[in-house]
Amino acid sequence: MIAEDASRAEILAEIGADANITAKLDGYVRLLEEWQQGLSLVGPGTMPHIWQRHILDSAQLMPFIKPETGAIMDIGSGAGFPGLVLAILYGDRLKSPLQLVESDGRKCRFLKTIIADIGINARVTHKRVEDLSSLWPATITARAVAPLNKLLQWTEKQHHPGLTCLFMKGKKAKEELTKCQNYQKINPKMRINSYASITHPDGVILRISGFTKRPQISTGKTEASKQVSHKVYKKQRHNL
């Protein structure tokens, strides 16, 4: 595990940041410190250790993601962790702008400011994730957003066989895994692997895959479909 008092230089060396990435991360941290005073984007006690607690904590997801395989969606983005950090680190390797989904308008403004000022390959969606249509992302990330069962419910429209979810959890991870056993029963192919965090002794990364795409059943019919159904019904009656 990386020590909480690790320096900025040690963190940058750990993630292999070049001059361009370093400049963007420095700009991100600077703007976060400015906005933090009025918006309280992260826990105040974590600010003295921002490079370890937030930058490196987000960057540790990189070994689990291949950005070339498809779109990345970060839900409940808040201050941009882990989404903005990943977007900075991946840069042009992203197939499309990394999508940050956030329901708080003030935080959306912050995220958009960071993206515009620093030049990050990301976009902001001001919605709840459960209100999104099916977008077929390759990866969904979430950090300190909601219990596991809620995350699985909220992202259900996005589930498909090629999806991988990376949910960063704390010391309640085992309890949350127990509570989602019923979800696993109706999704027998779903696999959950747990990996220790490198930034916190109680932290884990849950890698979830093996999803199935559930058909969306429409409760209503268009006028055209009603007419087709009526013609089929008449033909069936004629053949009796």
pLDDT tens per residue, range 168-222: 999 999 999 998 877 777 788 899 999 999 999 999 999 999 998 754 534 344 4
Cis, peptide link before residue 97, omega less than 30° from 0: no
Q: Is the pLDDT of residue 230 over 50?
A: no
pTM: 0.87
Over residues 17-42, the mean pLDDT reads 96
How many separate domains does the chain show?
Answer: 1
What order do you get walking across the sheet with 122-126 strand by strand?
122-126, 98-102, 72-75, 139-143, 164-169, 204-209, 191-196
Q: How far apart are CA 62 and CA 186, in angstroms?
A: 30
CB-side exposure of 190: number of CA atoms within 13 Å?
A: 22
> What is the structure's pLDDT at 188?
84
- Find the CATH number of the domain harbouring 231: 3.40.50.150
Indicate the angle between helix axes 8-15 and 19-39, nearest 10 degrees: 130
Q: Which of 164, 82, 165, 162 is nearest to 122 (CA)?
A: 82
User: Torsion over CA of 114, 115, 119 and 121, rounded to 10 degrees?
Assistant: 140
Q: Which of 85, 90, 54 is nearest to 70 (CA)?
A: 90
| Full residue range of the structural domain in which residue 30 is found | 8-239
Q: Which of 200, 172, 193, 199 is nearest to 64 (CA)?
A: 193
Q: Find the range with the poorest average confidence among 74-78, 120-124, 173-177, 203-207.
A: 173-177
Q: Is the pLDDT of residue 124 over 70?
A: yes
Whether residue 2 is contained in a domain is answered as no
Query: In the numeric block, which tokens belong to residue 116?
Result: 């515009």
Q: How far apart are CA 18 and CA 31, in angstroms?
A: 20
Whether residue 220 is contained in a domain is answered as yes
Whether residue 136 is contained in a domain is answered as yes
Q: How far apart are CA 70 and CA 73, in angstroms?
A: 10
CB-side exposure of 23: number of CA atoms within 13 Å?
A: 7
List, for residues 126-154, the tens digit of each pLDDT value.
999 999 999 999 999 999 899 999 999 99
Angle at 81 between CA 205 and CA 68, to 5 degrees: 75
Whether residue 3 is contained in a domain is answered as no
Amino acid of residue 83: G
